[in-house]
Chains A and B, each alone.
Chain A
Amino acid sequence: MKRISTDMTNNDMNYYLRAREKKLNDIQNKIADQTRIRELRDDPIAASHSVRYKSHISRLKQFTDNIGVIQSRSRIAEGYLQEAIGIMNRINEIAVQGANGIYQQNDTVIMGDEVNQLLDELVNIANARSGEGTSVFAGDRTLSNAFRTFEGYVDGGGKEVITGVEYTGTVKRNNTEISEGSYIESNFPGNNIFWAEDQIIISSVNSDDFIVRKDSSILIDSAEIKLKEGDNIHAVIARINDSGVPVKASIDPVKNSLMLVTTEPHQIWLEDSGDGNILKELGVISSFSSRPPHNISSEARVSGGSVFDMVIKLRDTLYTGNTLDIGSGAMKGIQQSLNHMVSKTAKLGAADERLELVKNRLSYEIPEITAMDSRETDIDLAEAITELKMLEHTQTASLQTAARILKPTLLDFLR
């Protein structure tokens, strides 16, 4: 600049002071707010990352909460199951003792009475309620009891006892999200936990000429299996076996009818979807519309029972004093029940371990992502204070120079 006008120094000083004051104000606010991003424009990319991280963290926290709830629930369930196993062990001892040929009927009746008491307790456990007042083993029908009992008189019992225990819950699995897109079952249907034998359902209807007439679907254990128009019985069987439900379908060689066998002990729930009638036509469920599990066709042969069935069977044989039956039939049932319940406990334990692993991962991931977020948005205090100090110094310096430069003019020297 060749020539400096009087205004220029003033303008320049204004310009730079204003710019510096803006910076000072900026950095002061950032320090006060503890953030690098006061306006989004301060760092667009960091801001957009931070938005993602923050949502991600809130989600992970929710997953941690979910895991906490499920863990406590499955621990409650496991506690009850352990108790039930204890009872079953006692029943097993009684069965072993009762199978011993040396006891008379009046001895075995006493044993039967003990088993009967234990059965009552077993039913109580199966109807357990959680702290929230919901039924633990009732599937998603959480407000009612999981099992219903029938009472009556049996030979040798002499008083009203439980003659049947029926599952009144559902098989619907509730899922809970425990990490991004990964779910875990969070309820424990009682007809799976308290089951002893593989269930077998054999229809009595010959299925040679069966054909699916229009696209429809069937529900096995509440999983939907889609059938296409024109599927014959083999195709239906293949679809059931490929669907991943713990049920194996095959053709009964005697009657050429559909046979369903569970691959792990549980009660099979069968239903036609909507107004379809595939399973009805196959003679597996009755044509009267009632809900599972009470809809199995009366023509079909069903075998395989619950833990309660086994205990009732043992008790009844003890009441009748038939030691031979105790040893052969009843004891086997008790053993199977025990085995199955123990394996269910193991499964719960395994699920708990998975939850624990996920929880650990989350507890590591949350601080990690918080740190990432903090790296993007939080202020580096040391740097900020250094910058502030630098700005303060330059501000003082320029104010001082301004005071010196602006003051003298020729006027000061003219007399």
Chain B
Amino acid sequence: MQSTFTGLEIGKRSLIAHNKGLTTVGHNITNASTEGYSRQRVKMQPFDPLYAPHLNRENTPGQIGQGVTAVSVERIKDELLEGRIVSQNNLKGYWENRDKYILMTEQIYNEPGEYSVRSMMDKFWESWQDLSLNPSESATRQSVLQRGEALISGIHQRYKSLKEMRDMADSDISATVYQINSILSDISSLNEKIVKIKAMGDNPNDLLDRRDLLVNNLSSLINITVDNRDPDEFQVHTAGLHLIQGRAVNYLSTDIDPVNEGYSRVVWEKSGEQAFFKGGSLASLIDIRDRDLREEIQKLDLMTVNFIDNVNSLHRKGWGKNNTTGLDFFREYPFVTSAEGNYDRAGNGEFDSTYIFRVSGSNSLDPEALIGLRGEMTLPGPDGNINIEYFPTDTVADVIDRINNSQSEVNAVLDDVNRLTIRAVTAKNIDNPDFAIRHIEDSGEFLAGYSGILQASGAEGAFDWETAGAAASFRTGGESANAEYAVAPLSHPSGWIEINRAIKSDPMSIAAGFGENGRPANPGDGSAALAIASLRNKPLMIGKLNSFDEYFSKTVADIALKGEEAEVSLETQNLIMKDLEDMKQSISGVNIDEELAQMIKYQHGYAAAARFISEMNSMLDTIINRMGV
């Protein structure tokens, strides 16, 4: 039989349930602007009615409802959407960071403007033009010197800024790894708590929200995927490896990479193996440091080293006003002290490689002449050597173009006396040194007897940097028939380029004329100055680019296009993320009006339940007090 106090119980349950509802509404409202908070709802359900099918059930019509009960407090969240956000967020992190760094790089260029390296170089060439007009004056020499100094400080400045940015990216990488690790340890401890709470049958809504927020933050740092399938073991993966498996964490760490100028490398703490990431700000930092900024510095180095080499090779032939000759205008710092380019790369006390930057053949060639030879040249490429064929119907210029248009990491050009000159460029692969020719081989005679670079054709006559004394394979044939070579410069020429001290101390040493037939130049001879001034727009091959003009316009276009790409990608990604976040907000966000309406609902529910209890109370009062027992 039904208890007399059933009504009170029902009322009490309702009070409790509505009270819970009100508390949750309060919780929602107070957390309306909490980041990552998902609104919660109390799930109400009718209490188990009477009677259950028992043998001792009362034989009355049923079932009789027993009021309401709050079964659970649930957060309202779309897990699928959350997965989408996690998978997109790393792109936002990537572009956000990249955009920032590329913008800083663009600003280093100072283009198009008056204070860029380009305009300083223009002024430098102009001063040589002036010198060619007034070769006997000392004022024009001073101006060459001053503008040279200005240009050099411009190059230094650019190099230093780029280098500082690389350093900054490097320390950002370490900081990001630290940040990732601290997020990982937070997630791990949350996992532990969540599992415990769930074991008690409760919903740890707020902890789940916090974990989601942490995962979200993590997903902007690296590309991750989340696996929720096992309720007891929340998993986060990156690049196919576990970052988090329940409580277990796979931490990241950094160590020093000797190949990459001592910058840090991201590794797994346990195995010490290098970790690779595809997205997130960590990947963008690594990309920026090891690809974009490295390339920027390489480009600047490439320009600088060619600039030094070309100006010096002309300046050495000229005569200063004080009858000095053979002076370099810019100081050259060779990478190795040995004149043959020998170097001990392994550091075991024996020469094991040869670092040669430039080699010129002994013969003057006619660019339009048919070579009449067939063969295959082997030159260094970004990954291993590449072969370039030539045929009897090619002209010298054709073969040169073919070398320059190939993937090879050397360029070819005819120098001022039409000798074939091969120069090394920067190396794409970080393991290879910049500005060192790694291999020259020719199965035929073009690079051997025809141009006079190599002594012999075929594999036996090949030049290869990985042997000491390889310079011996260059042609030597007596006094005039020698191939000429220069050893590789010290790395980062843009960092050390400076004007020769002898010239700084006596600007009269600046050469204006070539002289004649081995005699010093006369005061009115401006031929050398003119030749140097003409370098500006001459086809000299700066890497694979034709001239300084092309170099400057290409580098500007390159970085600007990168900037544009970063900006557009970031905006796109921001929009995508905004849409996703909006969707998430639409589902999980708190709407105060809605909550207030809920509040009123629960208030009224509460009031009604209270009223019901008081009604019950008066009923009981009737039974107990008025029946007059």
Shortest Cβ distance from residue B95 to the other chain A in the assembled complex, whole angstroms: 13
Which of A52-60, A246-254, A381-389 lies at the interface?
A: A52-60
9 additional contacts, CB 8 Å, given A6-B589, A58-B122, A140-B521?
A: A5-B586, A6-B591, A11-B585, A47-B556, A48-B554, A54-B119, A56-B549, A140-B513, A180-B537
Chain B residue contacts of A8, Cβ below 8 A = 582, 585-586, 589
Contact B524 A139 (CB under 8 A): yes
Contact with A along B539-583 (1 / 0, CB 8 A): 000000000010011101101111110110000000000100111
Shortest Cβ distance from residue B522 to the other chain A in the assembled complex, whole angstroms: 4
Known: A51-B552, A170-B522. A409 touches B586 (CB 8 A): no
A48 to B134 alpha-carbon distance, docked (Å): 34
Known: A176-B133, A409-B592, A410-B596. A3 touches B586 (CB 8 A): yes
A181 to B129 alpha-carbon distance, docked (Å): 13
Contact B525 A37 (CB under 8 A): no
Q: Does B492 reach chain A (CB closer than 8 Å)?
A: no
Contact A51 B126 (CB under 8 A): no
A271 to B587 alpha-carbon distance, docked (Å): 95
Shortest Cβ distance from residue B519 to the other chain A in the assembled complex, whole angstroms: 8
Contact B557 A45 (CB under 8 A): yes
A-B contact pairs, 5 of them (CB 8 A): A7-B585, A48-B554, A139-B522, A142-B522, A222-B516
Known: A55-B118, A59-B537. A39 touches B583 (CB 8 A): no
Contact with B along A10-22 (1 / 0, CB 8 A): 0110010000000
Known: A142-B136, A274-B517. A40 touches B559 (CB 8 A): yes
Q: Does A102 reach chain B (CB closer than 8 Å)?
A: no
Chain B residue contacts of A172, Cβ below 8 A = 516, 522, 524-525, 527
Q: Does B103 reach chain A (CB closer than 8 Å)?
A: yes
Contact B586 A4 (CB under 8 A): yes
Contact A5 B556 (CB under 8 A): no
Contact B586 A176 (CB under 8 A): no
Contact B133 A40 (CB under 8 A): no
Shortest Cβ distance from residue B415 to the other chain A in the assembled complex, whole angstroms: 16
A141 to B596 alpha-carbon distance, docked (Å): 100
Is the contact region of chain B dominated by helix, strand, or loop, or is it mixed?
A: helix
Contact A143 B592 (CB under 8 A): no
Q: Which residue in chain B gives the minimum CB-CB distance to A5?
A: B589
Chain A residue contacts of B522, Cβ below 8 A = 139-142, 170, 172
Name the contact of A37 in the complex, choosing from B112, B526, B567, B592 (C-beta under 8 A): B112
Q: Does A398 reach chain B (CB closer than 8 Å)?
A: no
Name the contact of A140 in the complex, choosing from B524, B589, B596 (C-beta under 8 A): B524
Known: A6-B591, A410-B593. A44 touches B585 (CB 8 A): no
Chain B residue contacts of A183, Cβ below 8 A = 530
Known: A48-B560, A186-B133, A414-B596. A177 touches B530 (CB 8 A): yes
Chain B residue contacts of A256, Cβ below 8 A = none
Contact B527 A175 (CB under 8 A): yes
Q: Does B47 reach chain A (CB closer than 8 Å)?
A: no
Q: Which residue in chain B gives the minimum CB-CB distance to A180?
A: B537
Q: Does B536 reach chain A (CB closer than 8 Å)?
A: yes
Contact A51 B534 (CB under 8 A): no
Shortest Cβ distance from residue B102 to the other chain A in the assembled complex, whole angstroms: 8
Contact with B along A159-186 (1 / 0, CB 8 A): 0000000000010101111001101001
Shortest Cβ distance from residue A140 to the other chain B in the assembled complex, whole angstroms: 4
Shortest Cβ distance from residue A57 to the other chain B in the assembled complex, whole angstroms: 9
Known: A140-B513, A411-B592. A174 touches B132 (CB 8 A): yes
Q: Which residue in chain A gives the minimum CB-CB distance to B596?
A: A410
A203 to B572 alpha-carbon distance, docked (Å): 85
Contact with A along B98-110 (1 / 0, CB 8 A): 0000110011010
Name the contact of A55 in the complex, choosing from B122, B561, B566, B586 (C-beta under 8 A): B122
A304 to B132 alpha-carbon distance, docked (Å): 33
Q: Does B590 reach chain A (CB closer than 8 Å)?
A: yes
A180 to B549 alpha-carbon distance, docked (Å): 13
A43 to B568 alpha-carbon distance, docked (Å): 12
Q: Does A377 reach chain B (CB closer than 8 Å)?
A: yes
Contact residues of B with A, CB < 8 Å?
32-33, 39, 102-103, 106-107, 109, 111-112, 116, 118-119, 122-123, 125-126, 129, 132-137, 480, 513, 516-519, 521-527, 530, 533-534, 536-537, 549, 552-554, 556-557, 559-564, 566-567, 578, 581-583, 585-593, 596-597, 600
Contact B106 A39 (CB under 8 A): yes
Name the contact of B589 in the complex, choosing from A7, A41, A143 (C-beta under 8 A): A7
Chain A residue contacts of B592, Cβ below 8 A = 6, 409-411
Chain A residue contacts of B32, Cβ below 8 A = 6-7
Chain A residue contacts of B578, Cβ below 8 A = 15
Shortest Cβ distance from residue A276 to the other chain B in the assembled complex, whole angstroms: 10
Shortest Cβ distance from residue B629 to the other chain A in the assembled complex, whole angstroms: 47
Q: Does A49 reach chain B (CB closer than 8 Å)?
A: yes
Chain A residue contacts of B561, Cβ below 8 A = 41, 44
Name the contact of A410 in the complex, choosing from B135, B552, B597 (C-beta under 8 A): B597
Shortest Cβ distance from residue A83 to the other chain B in the assembled complex, whole angstroms: 22
Shortest Cβ distance from residue A177 to the other chain B in the assembled complex, whole angstroms: 7
Name the contact of B106 in the complex, choosing from A40, A52, A132 (C-beta under 8 A): A40
Q: Does A97 reach chain B (CB closer than 8 Å)?
A: no
Most buried by B among A4, A54, A274: A54
Contact residues of A with B, CB < 8 Å?
1-8, 11-12, 15, 37, 39-41, 43-45, 47-52, 54-56, 58-59, 62, 65-66, 69-70, 132, 134-135, 138-143, 170, 172, 174-177, 180-181, 183, 186-187, 215, 219, 222, 271, 273-274, 291, 377, 409-411, 414
A65 to B134 alpha-carbon distance, docked (Å): 13
A410 to B586 alpha-carbon distance, docked (Å): 19
A49 to B103 alpha-carbon distance, docked (Å): 19
Shortest Cβ distance from residue B481 to the other chain A in the assembled complex, whole angstroms: 10
Shortest Cβ distance from residue A161 to the other chain B in the assembled complex, whole angstroms: 30
Contact A58 B126 (CB under 8 A): yes
Name the contact of A62 in the complex, choosing from B33, B39, B129, B587 (C-beta under 8 A): B129
Known: A1-B586, A409-B592. A176 touches B132 (CB 8 A): yes
Q: Which residue in chain A gives the minimum CB-CB distance to B550?
A: A52
Contact A44 B564 (CB under 8 A): yes
Q: Which residue in chain A gives the minimum CB-CB distance to B562?
A: A41
In the A-B complex, list the 10 residue pairs whose CB atoms are closest, starting with the nearest.
A5-B589, A41-B563, A142-B524, A44-B560, A48-B557, A40-B560, A140-B524, A140-B525, A140-B522, A50-B112
Contact A134 B524 (CB under 8 A): yes
Chain B residue contacts of A37, Cβ below 8 A = 112
Contact B524 A174 (CB under 8 A): yes
Chain B residue contacts of A70, Cβ below 8 A = 133
Name the contact of A187 in the complex, choosing from B103, B118, B516, B524 (C-beta under 8 A): B524
Shortest Cβ distance from residue A122 to the other chain B in the assembled complex, whole angstroms: 22
Chain A residue contacts of B581, Cβ below 8 A = 11
Known: A3-B587, A54-B119, A59-B122. A141 touches B103 (CB 8 A): no
Q: Which residue in chain B gives the minimum CB-CB distance to A7?
A: B589
Contact A143 B133 (CB under 8 A): no
A39 to B564 alpha-carbon distance, docked (Å): 10
Contact A54 B521 (CB under 8 A): no
A52 to B122 alpha-carbon distance, docked (Å): 11
Shortest Cβ distance from residue A245 to the other chain B in the assembled complex, whole angstroms: 14
A180 to B125 alpha-carbon distance, docked (Å): 13
Known: A6-B593, A140-B522, A409-B596. A66 touches B129 (CB 8 A): yes
A156 to B431 alpha-carbon distance, docked (Å): 90
Chain B residue contacts of A409, Cβ below 8 A = 592-593, 596
Chain B residue contacts of A132, Cβ below 8 A = 134, 137
Shortest Cβ distance from residue B482 to the other chain A in the assembled complex, whole angstroms: 14
Chain B residue contacts of A291, Cβ below 8 A = 519
Q: Which residue in chain A gives the minimum CB-CB distance to B571?
A: A19
A43 to B111 alpha-carbon distance, docked (Å): 12
Chain A residue contacts of B562, Cβ below 8 A = 41
Shortest Cβ distance from residue A369 to the other chain B in the assembled complex, whole angstroms: 13
Contact B524 A143 (CB under 8 A): yes
Contact A41 B122 (CB under 8 A): no
Name the contact of B563 in the complex, choosing from A39, A59, A219, A274 (C-beta under 8 A): A39
Chain B residue contacts of A176, Cβ below 8 A = 132-133, 526, 530
